[in-house]
Every structure is written in structure tokens, then in C-alpha cells.
């Protein structure tokens, strides 16, 4: 190997090493940013609960704002069987999805009639969502209130499949993430989960039949 080729190879190695370190540093920074946000959001939710206040997100029908003005102030999602647990933030902007599960603005919030729509990245907060099954429990919490849903079905749709945002009768929940789960780059499809809200008695009866749900309560 000539001297010039040795120099070129060495500089290539240096360049790849620097690029790898930069990528690793970026990933660590994003992860740290998400963890800090999650901790702060959980503390804020605990602070509100300790003050004995309910979130202003859920109001009586007479006090409900227009759909466009509804906000998810602070809350969390938990899927016990999959060990998924995350705080939720309003909007699905790039900045929000880096640190939390995002609530699609304009859709319902827990406790309201309509469709609560949440989205997250497949490789962060919705990692493992592909293992969800009909009947699985999903729990949404806001200060002072908790709402439980049972998975009805899953589906794979194109990015323009906006029907998943539509509201039906009753109170429903829709989770959205990119698909395929192990796709490299911008995934071409979306994986969705649709669940219906259940009352406390129905939830407890179902949990008695499936004790694994209770294990993670």
C-alpha cells in the first residue's frame, strides 16, 4: 500500500470515527432531553394531584371549549402488558414527539365523547406497540382522573388514512405510530390501535379473567 493510500485510509477512519461520535452524542442528547421532560411532566402531574385539583382538560359539557381549543394539559398513558408508560403532551410536532407521546390537537381528550388520538415514534415511546392484542388494557390518566380502554382492533394504513381520526359513538382511543417497526428511514405506512372506553366494573371483571393485567397495576 502506497503512502498516499495509507494517509487517505487514515483520514477516512478519522472521519468515520468523528461521525460516529457525533451520532452517538446526538442520540444521548435526545434521550436525556426526553428523560428530563418525562420526569418534569410526572412531577407536575403529581403536584397538581397533591393540591387536590382536577386537570382543566376535562370539564362538564356546559363548559366544554370548541374542538379546536381543546388541550391535553398534562397526562399519561400506560399499556400494562407491554410495559409501555409515557407522559403525554399536546400536539404532534417534531419537538413534542422527541420527548413524549403527542395528542393530536382537535381530537377529544379523556372523559369527552369522541376519539382521543395519540401518536409517538415506533422506536421510542411506542416501542413494542406491534405486540398489542385485542382485549389489552390501555390506561389514560389526568390529574384526579383515570380512564381505561380495551383494544378492539389494530390495522395498517397509508399516511393519508385520515379516517382514523374520525369520531364514532361513545368514547374511543386511537394510537398511531409508523410502520414497519424495523424500517430504516421514513416508514411508508402507519400502524394504528383502536380501543373503546370501559367502565370500572367491566374492567375489573376482565382483569379477573386475565390476571396479567393486574400485575402491572
Confidence label for 213 from pLDDT (cuts 50, 70 and 90): very low
pLDDT at 138 over 90: yes
Residue 40 lies in a domain: no
- Distances in Å between the Cα of 44 and the Cα atoms of 5, 10, 74, 92 are 58, 51, 8, 20
Q: Looking at 43, 121, 182, 206, which residue is catalytic?
A: 121
Q: Which SS3 state, helix, strand or coil, does residue 179 take?
A: strand
pTM for this prediction: 0.73
Burial class of 65 by CB neighbour count within 10 A (0 to 12, 13 to 18, 19+): exposed
pLDDT digits (tens, 9 = 90+) for 148-192: 999 999 999 999 988 899 988 899 999 999 999 988 888 999 999
**160, 175 in Cβ contact below 8 A?**
no
Per-residue pLDDT at 11? 63
Average pLDDT in the chain: 80
Residue 90 has a pLDDT of 93
Position 28 scores a pLDDT of 53
94, 178, 182, 206: the catalytic one is: 178
The verdict on residue 128 lying in a domain is yes
Handedness of CA 83, 89, 95, 97 (dihedral sign): positive
- Grade residue 10 by pLDDT with cuts at 50, 70 and 90: low
Instruction: Note if the bond before 17 is cis, omega within 30 degrees.
Output: no
The whole domain housing 82 covers: 61-215
* Residue 117 phi, psi (nearest 5): -115, 125
What is the per-residue DSSP string for 126-177? TTTGGG--TT-EEEEEETTEEEEEEEEEEEEE-TT-GGGG---SSEEEEEEE
Question: What was the pLDDT predicted at 185?
Answer: 83
Counted domains in the chain: 1
At 88-134, the pLDDT tens digits run 999 999 999 999 999 999 999 998 999 999 999 999 999 999 999 99
Structural domain includes residue 101: yes
Q: What's the grid cell of residue 164?
A: 382514523
User: Is 178 labeled as catalytic in the residue annotation?
Assistant: yes
Residue 187, domain member (yes or no): yes
Domain assignment present for residue 39? The answer is no
**How many residues would you count in the chain?**
217
Q: What is the CATH number of the domain that holds 111?
A: 2.40.260.10
Look at residue 13 and tell me if it is in a domain: no
Confidence of residue 14 (pLDDT cuts 50, 70, 90): low
Query: Residue 80 falls within a domain, yes or no?
Result: yes
Amino acid at each position: 500500500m502506497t503512502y498516499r493510500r495509507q494517509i487517505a485510509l487514515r483520514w477516512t477512519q478519522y472521519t468515520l470515527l468523528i461521525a460516529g461520535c457525533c451520532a452517538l452524542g446526538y442520540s444521548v442528547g435526545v434521550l436525556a432531553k426526553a428523560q428530563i421532560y418525562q420526569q418534569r411532566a410526572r412531577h407536575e402531574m403529581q403536584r397538581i394531584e397533591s393540591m387536590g385539583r382536577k386537570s382543566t382538560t376535562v370539564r362538564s359539557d356546559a363548559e366544554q371549549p370548541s374542538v379546536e381549543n381543546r388541550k391535553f394539559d398534562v397526562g399519561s398513558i400506560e399499556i400494562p402488558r407491554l410495559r409501555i408508560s409515557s407522559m403525554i403532551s399536546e400536539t404532534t410536532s417534531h419537538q413534542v414527539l422527541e420527548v413524549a407521546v403527542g395528542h393530536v390537537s382537535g381530537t377529544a381528550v379523556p372523559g369527552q365523547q369522541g376519539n382521543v388520538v395519540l401518536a409517538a415514534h415506533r422506536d421510542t415511546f411506542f416501542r413494542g406497540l406491534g405486540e398489542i392484542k385485542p382485549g389489552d388494557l390501555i390506561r389514560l390518566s389526568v390529574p384526579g382522573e383515570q380512564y381505561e380502554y380495551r383494544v378492539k382492533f389494530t390495522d395498517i394504513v397509508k399516511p393519508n388514512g385520515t379516517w382514523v381520526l374520525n369520531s364514532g359513538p361513545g368514547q374511543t382511543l386511537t394510537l398511531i405510530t409508523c410502520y414497519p417497526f424495523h424500517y430504516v428511514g421514513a416508514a411508508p405506512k402507519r400502524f394504528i390501535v383502536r380501543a373503546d372506553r370501559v367502565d370500572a366494573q367491566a374492567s375489573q371483571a376482565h382483569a379477573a379473567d386475565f390476571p396479567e393485567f393486574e400485575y402491572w397495576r
